[in-house]
Amino acid sequence: MTSSALWQPGSTLGRVAGWGAVAILGLMGGMEPAIAQSAPDSGTVDLIEVTGIIDPPVEGYVSDRLAGAARDGVEAAILQLDTPGGLEVSMRSMVQDILSSPVPVIVWVAPRGARAASAGTFITYAAHLSFMADATEIGAATPVNLGAGGSEALEAKATNDAAAFIEELAVERDRNSVFAKEAVRSAASIGATEAVAMDVVDGKASSLRQLLEVIDGRATEVAGRGEITLETWDEDAGAPSVTVRFQHPNPLEQILHAVTSPEAAFLLLLAGMFGLIFELYNPGIGLAGILGAISLLLSFYGLSVLPTNWIGVLLIVLAVVFFVVDLQMSGLGVWTAGGLAAIISGGLLLFAGAPPLALPLWALAAGVGASLLFFISVMTAALRVRLRRPITGQESLVGLLGEATTDIAPEGTVLTKGMLWRARTMETGIAAGSQVEVKATEGLVLLVEPLGEAGPPSTT
């Protein structure tokens, strides 16, 4: 299992960010189910796909679909599992739902190349029946607690707790308890063939059709119903005897689950800060500010779920500060170099305590490239536009040079930009033919001052 909050519920920051994201996405219609489904007939099997980190959105999705399966009286619920691990609090909730389900729950580690690592090992052990596709693996369930501050006592406590829990699951489902404890204490991991030979899982199935065939006739004990024998295959027809109902997360669940990937959380953090910085330099509640705020909320939610090293987050924020400083100094210098060093260091440290969830190098490279592009190109252009003298309206006259065509004492006329303007001065008087500079405007009257010894104006 891999999470900085592995042995504790989510942080306050994560809950606030999560609920903020839920509120925003809910207003956008994200709460609607992905697919409207009618109640199944008898002989229906639900296929619930579970991929990625085991987090609160996944736990909620599985809990809801298992409740629906029980309500609709399906033959069985199949969890197609492929996970590197996740939060203990979410994993335990899923295990409780499986243990108390009145519908047989079958964990199927698939497709080929999938894994049931860490939290996935516990979920597989909790299932009424479990199967693995070829070229899949299970194990490596040693708990990782980045929030423990390196305390050996706390690490031992977490490991002993996890070992006792998975051993009880092994006894409950009559599975190999020796490997279960080794997976927790020594991070042991095995492939599908060995898992079947060691009675870690009930068999192999590399396709859904094959799975429905091998589970047919299997008997299992379920909560509140006693022993149930599955009927999923028609021997005479040589085809499944059940209808498969495919379950999918709704848009909100998909978005919240997607942002718990390391690359998404990292890139959303940068995008959020870029959006807010752009909005600050271009005042007004615009699209950049709105998207930046949403990106930050989603990033904070993802970071609160992932095994985040918050020193890495601080380094990334510091890198953005360095880029802003160099932007103000109008050049690429030591601050930009410091920003690059900080963002690279922060990215490498961000999830360093959990190797399976380490930030991919392509995401780090993309973040560095996007930062340079944003500050060197986008923000530089935005600053030039902001500081550029207006070219239309009366404000465009301020700062221009002109020539007094009459004495200005205190009013007269001035020629600038090829046009005659009424002018006024606060000086004692300006002689005709003198060069003047426009300091301000009052309606259609220019407020001017003598230019002194400056060269002839180029704007008249």
Which of the following is catalytic: 157, 241, 345, 396? 157
204 is catalytic: no
Helix (H, G, I), strand (E, B) or coil at 167: helix
Cβ-contact 66, 222 below 8 angstroms: no
332: number of Cβ within 10 Å: 14
Cβ-contact 240, 76 below 8 angstroms: no
* Residue 23, both tokens: 């509120």
Which of the following is catalytic: 90, 101, 118, 299? 118
Distances in whole angstroms, Cα of residue 66 to Cα of each of 43, 59, 94, 221, 231 = 16, 11, 10, 16, 19
Our CA dihedral for 3, 201, 102, 44, rounded to 10 degrees, sits at 110
Buried/exposed 41-69: b ≥16 CB within 10 Å, e otherwise: eeebbbbbbbeebbbbbbbbbbbbbbebb
Question: Which of 244, 246, 242 has the alpha carbon at shortest distance from 34?
Answer: 246
Question: Which of 189, 61, 210, 67 has the alpha carbon at shortest distance from 136?
Answer: 189
* Residue 103, both tokens: 């519908």
> Which one-letter amino acid corresponds to residue 255?
I
Please give the full DSSP string across 428-455, using - where no structure is assigned: S-B-TT-EEEEEEEETTEEEEEE-TTPP
Over its C-alpha atoms, the chain yields an Rg (Å, rounded) of: 33
Q: Kindly report the backbone phi and psi dihedral angles of residue 430, in degrees, each rounded to the nearest multiple of 5, phi listed first.
A: -125, 125
Question: Alpha-carbon distance 4 to 349, whole Å?
Answer: 13
149: number of Cβ within 10 Å: 7
181 is catalytic: no
Cβ-contact 278, 264 below 8 angstroms: no
Question: Alpha-carbon distance 420 to 404, whole Å?
Answer: 9
Residues with Cβ within 8 Å of residue 5, at least 6 apart in sequence:
11, 14, 87, 89, 147, 304, 305
Q: Which residues are catalytic?
A: 118, 157
